[in-house]
Structure 1
Amino acid sequence: MKIVVWILVGIGTLVLLGGVVLPLVHWLLGALGWLIAGALVIGGGLWLAKRAQSRGEVAPPQDAQRLP
């Protein structure tokens, strides 16, 4: 009888892993991928902006209105 219980526990574990844990891990890895991609895009944009500013390609506006 104990062997039947252990087989049922094993099957239940496989069902739990397949139905709950694996989709959760898949979703987390997908979210992590989007976060990495977003960080690369933002970091690359900042790097390009600093590079253009240091070369003098982007100058601050001459007639900028200032707040009193």
Structure 2
Amino acid sequence: MKKAVFQMEALTCPSCIKKIEGALNKTAGVENAKVLFNSGKVKTTFDESAVSAEALAQIVTKLGYPVLSKKVS
């Protein structure tokens, strides 16, 4: 399993959290996705053989929340 942290602009509403977490947690290969509201970060744990960090970042961006940077470990 890999971990990725995506830095985004500040989130403005709690419904943003549900929208992002819901989309990522429904994605095949994602074990866990958690939005840290105050810091504007999304932490994910995923199976790199099923999905890439770049694909996850694209999902978040398509929801209307641009990813400023990503860190994969």
TM superposition score normalised by structure 1 = 0.25
- Higher helix fraction: Structure 1 or Structure 2? 1
- Higher relative contact order at CA 8 Å, sep ≥6: structure 1 or structure 2? 2
- Structure with higher Rg: it is 1
- Relative to its length, the structure with more strand (as a share) is 2
What TM-score does the superposition give when structure 2 sets the normalisation length? 0.24
